[in-house]
Chain A
Amino acid sequence: MASATDTPRSSLLPAPTARSHDGEPPLLELRGVRAAYGKIEVLHGIDLAVRGGAILAVLGPNGAGKSTMLRIVSGAMRPSAGTVRLEGHDVTGVSAERRARIGVCLVPEGRGIFPNLTVRENILMDTYGAPGRGARVLEDVTYDRFPRLGERRQQLAGTLSGGEQQMLSLARALTTDPALILLDELSMGLAPILVEELFAVVQQLAGTGVTTVIVEQFAEVVLGFADEVVLMTQGRVRLTGSPSDVRHDLADAYLGRAST
């Protein structure tokens, strides 16, 4: 099943089609991405570039299209127009499972776990996105960082607490050596102390230089360590800049008064 086991990650990509003028292409680039659920368009042309190693925070109110944008980057959803590029390679038509195998790691909104599988079996499923790594290695790394999961390894994931489920979901970002991590609303529905614990892991990950896109509604948490911030409302990018640039415009944006 994992035919990609011994192939280097980048070779799965189609030939590069575009390079930006300053040499290295951005690790992730969206051009004019539009998306629709049925006939209702929710993204109206998103342009976005994330350079390698950067941490991008995507902020915005409910319904801004943040999660949809992440689903498109991960391949879980197809855009109705526009292109998605990874390191300059056009991956718009590449399936989600192939993107996962070349190092795109989405930690989805809600609980990204299989509730009727045990903790161990959930981690076993992470090996599909980590060619060449055994389940044992993944388990060791996970239990090392989240000892509570180690205590519950034979328990069905659906019976874990919300925080433990989120840890299990996040573990994949930790263990599979991804090239791009996409975090969708990590803090949703969790107690502040758990949020802190999880973001400590995210910061630790970011410290290793892996490119990360974080979607959050709780802006303050991520403004602390993001390199760049993008503000989305109603399916469009309203603002781009450094955390300090964006900070004072945030309230306006959330209340619908952002300049267009």
Chain B
Amino acid sequence: MDVQTFFTFLLIGVSISAVYAISATGLVVTYVTSGVFNFAHGAIGMFIAFVYWELRVHRGWPTPLALLVTLGVVAPAIGVLLDTVVMRRLLSGASVATKLVVTLALLLAFQGLALAFWGIKLRALPGLWGDRTFKLFGLVVSWDQTTTVLAALVVAFGLRLLFRRTRLGVAMRAVVDNPELCAIKGLSPKRVTAASWALGAMLAGLAAILIAPGLNLEVNTLSLLVVSAYAAAVVGRLHDLPATFVGALVLGVSQTLLIGYLPQTNEIVRNLKPAMPFLLLVAALLLMPERRLPEPERTPPEPAPPRPRVSAAVGVVAVVAVLALSFTMSNFQLLVAAKGMVFACATLSLVLLTGSSGQVSLMQMSFAGVGAVVLGKIGGGLPYVVALPLAGLAAAALGALVALPVIRLRGIYLALSTLAVAILMDSLVFGNSRFLGGGATIAVPRPSLFGLSLHSDRSIFILTVAAVAVFANLFLLVRRSAFGRMLAGMRDAPKACQTLGMSLTSVKLRVFALSAFVAGVSGGLLGSLQVRVGALDFLYFRSLTVLLVATIFGITSVSGAVLGALFFVVLPEILRSAGSTGGGGVAGTQALQPLIIGVLAIAVARHPEGLAGQLRAWLRPRWQRLVPAGGPPGAPVTGAAADMPAVAPHEEVPVGVGD
């Protein structure tokens, strides 16, 4: 390739870097003032770009006016609204999982809103200057590229001035340090965070409007394009703006050059392209020393586990009851219910990890995918009872392998690195024809037991229910054990655990492997259920959904996992079948779902213990009224523990006493 081509690629790289930098800056601004890493940042930008399209193209406003209204009025309004309705409620020490889920839900909500307003049609957004170009040293440079780079420079110097020289900017940094002290000193932390969210939305919108002309104006592409901005923000350790700019520059340029120069024929290289930002994200996460905000974290209260005999009995009764019930169900109902149960297993794997130990993984479905692929490969030759656990073990091995390098990361950094691994696996493993057959799918056998064929939909449903029962008991067993107390200790006070001689590394490795095992088995079950699985079943986005469901319904309890699975898998299927018979209802429910998710996210922001926790709190006094004087042997915790985790740790039911 000649020099001319090199400089053309370099120019493209620099202007893409400028967009990453603008977007990453917005991410950093909101993160430092509110402690919320905003997964919806790209989706907000996407939405604002659509608003710009509406004004500029659809209504034919002149460019400057459309820009001014979009970035000067609509974007700040969205930012302030987000802060008032959602983010502000998160300020008092919400857990990483809660914050992640709230922004994930917002991501879905913004996508849903955009789809509801503008539909799925692809649209082209014209550049700010149309196609106008000029020549510089023989190189064709577009006015848009120039504007983009200039915009990034203006943002860089503008923000530096804002944060160092103005009272509002200094106040934004002060709010991060100590919001209560701000109030005591007479400045309202609410106004400051509102200002920073307004600024964040403006930067997200600016980045999207600048980059959209080069792509199609489409919901998903624009929402997820900012992933590269995440990597840039991590290079700046989520607070350092100059470093963020350097990160963006390195990312944008290297990405463009690699794409330009790497051979296009190799499948791995082709698959690597979309994964590139994530490779760089992983590298940045591992190489950059982490910096945590000085922020106390509050995990939602865990309900005390019932006694082993009670939970085992509940499991057996559930399986028997479901067996009886299954004879009244149609094949369709059986399959939907089984899918719900598989999802409950996957959610339980996250309850085990995040609920018990406070670590957030965004790659549970990748573990599930490994389980399914391994079961597909070995299931033909080995008996099912051997092959399924082996599939789980393969996932567990991967879990330990992933945990090893990222073990020192915590909180949002850990979550981001698991997300990056999940996306790498999407393109390198599940999208690779060497691992999966043609069409990127693999056949997975249905179960059989000692030569007895259990191929019917009913047997697979019963098997999934049994799996939920077994894993729920496993989870409760862990919670009651010394290992469970180590997990809780690590979650609540890692430093204290170290002083007691506990190895955080070993505990983290073990819980990661255990959680991956459960996820792997659930993936194997999904494979058996569907008979054929492919890359789409284990897309990273599904892992985000698992976290979303687990957190909305209760990240610390079995009931949360099961309720969540029923809501997210079974309810949409029922609605869909009702909609298709009733006619016209499908579009309505599809538009409704993101709104429902958005509302649930706000609910989670206020009640981190999730819907299951709410339900328990509502049921408990009524149950105690029904069963007076001590209650049943497995009676749950006393009322106070659920409401006041911080001050009443001694109210936990003594573990193992009397058994």
Contact = CB atoms under 8 A, between A and B. Distances in A.
19 contacts: A1-B188, A1-B191, A38-B646, A74-B184, A75-B184, A95-B188, A97-B187, A113-B181, A114-B173, A114-B178, A116-B177, A117-B177, A124-B170, A125-B174, A125-B182, A125-B185, A125-B187, A127-B167, A128-B171
Can you list the 7 inter-chain pairs with the closest CB atoms, starting with the nearest? A100-B186, A129-B186, A128-B187, A96-B183, A128-B186, A114-B177, A38-B644
Contacts of B297: none
Given A38-B643, A40-B647, A117-B177, A76 B170 contact: no
A35 B186 CA distance: 22
Interface in A111-140: 112-117, 121, 124-130, 135
Interface residue tally of chain B, by bracket? 20 to 34
A101 interface: yes
Contact of B170 (A39, A40, A95, A121): A121
A172 B171 CA distance: 16
B168 interface: yes
Contact of A75 (B168, B183, B191): B183
A99 B644 CA distance: 29
Contacts of A64: none
A258 B186 CA distance: 38
A40 B646 CA distance: 12
B183 A95 contact: yes
Contact of B640 (A39, A108, A117): A39
B267 interface: no
Nearest to B645: A38
Given A76-B180, A108-B184, A117-B177, A125 B647 contact: no
Residue of A74, A116, A135 with most chain B CB atoms under a 10 A cut-off: A116
B601 interface: no
A54 to B, nearest CB: 22
A28 interface: no
Contacts of A39: 640, 643-644
A1 B193 CA distance: 13
Contacts of A40: 644, 647
Interface in A86-111: 95-98, 100-101, 106, 108
Interface string B629-659: 0000000000010011011100000000000
B176 interface: yes
B609 to A, nearest CB: 15
A76 B183 contact: yes
Contact of A1 (B181, B183, B187, B294): B187
A44 B402 CA distance: 53
A127 B186 CA distance: 8
Contacts of A100: 183-186
Nearest to B173: A117
Contacts of A74: 184
Contacts of A106: 184
A112 B186 CA distance: 13
B183 to A, nearest CB: 4
Interface of B: 167-168, 170-171, 173-174, 176-178, 180-188, 191, 294, 640, 643-644, 646-648
Contacts of B168: 1
Given A1-B191, A101-B186, A124 B647 contact: no
Contacts of B643: 38-39
Contact of A112 (B167, B181, B188): B181
Contacts of A114: 173-174, 177-178, 181
Residues of B contacting A: mostly: helix
Contact of B647 (A37, A126, A129): A37
A76 B178 CA distance: 12
A75 B185 CA distance: 11
Contacts of A127: 167
A117 B640 CA distance: 39
A148 B178 CA distance: 24
A172 B186 CA distance: 11
Contacts of A98: 186
Nearest to A101: B186
A106 B178 CA distance: 14
Nearest to B163: A121
Nearest to A182: B184
A98 B640 CA distance: 34
A172 B167 CA distance: 16
A125 B180 CA distance: 13
A209 B173 CA distance: 35
A37 B643 CA distance: 11
A258 B197 CA distance: 53
Contacts of B171: 1, 125, 128
B256 to A, nearest CB: 36
A152 to B, nearest CB: 17
Contacts of A108: 181, 184
B183 A115 contact: no
Contacts of A76: 180, 183-184
A113 to B, nearest CB: 8
B646 A117 contact: no
B177 A172 contact: no
Given A128-B186, A128-B187, A172-B185, A38 B180 contact: no
A78 to B, nearest CB: 12
Interface in A43-87: 74-76
Residue of B183, B188, B294 with most chain A CB atoms under a 10 A cut-off: B183
Contacts of B170: 117, 121, 124-125
Contacts of B294: 115
A96 B184 contact: yes
A114 B172 CA distance: 11
A113 B646 CA distance: 25
Nearest to B32: A116
Interface string A168-205: 00001000000000000000000000000000000000
Contacts of B182: 97, 125, 128
Given A96-B184, A128-B187, 5 more contacts: A1-B168, A97-B188, A125-B187, A127-B167, A129-B185
Interface string A28-39: 000000000111
A128 B185 contact: yes
A116 B188 contact: no
A188 B189 CA distance: 27
Nearest to B646: A38
A95 B187 CA distance: 10
Residue of B178, B185, B644, B648 with most chain A CB atoms under a 10 A cut-off: B185
B168 to A, nearest CB: 6
Nearest to A129: B186
A76 B185 CA distance: 10
B420 to A, nearest CB: 28
Given A38-B644, A125-B171, A116 B176 contact: yes
Nearest to A100: B186
A126 B188 CA distance: 13
Contact of B167 (A75, A95, A116, A124): A124
A97 B182 CA distance: 8
B146 to A, nearest CB: 35
A39 B643 CA distance: 9
A113 B170 CA distance: 13
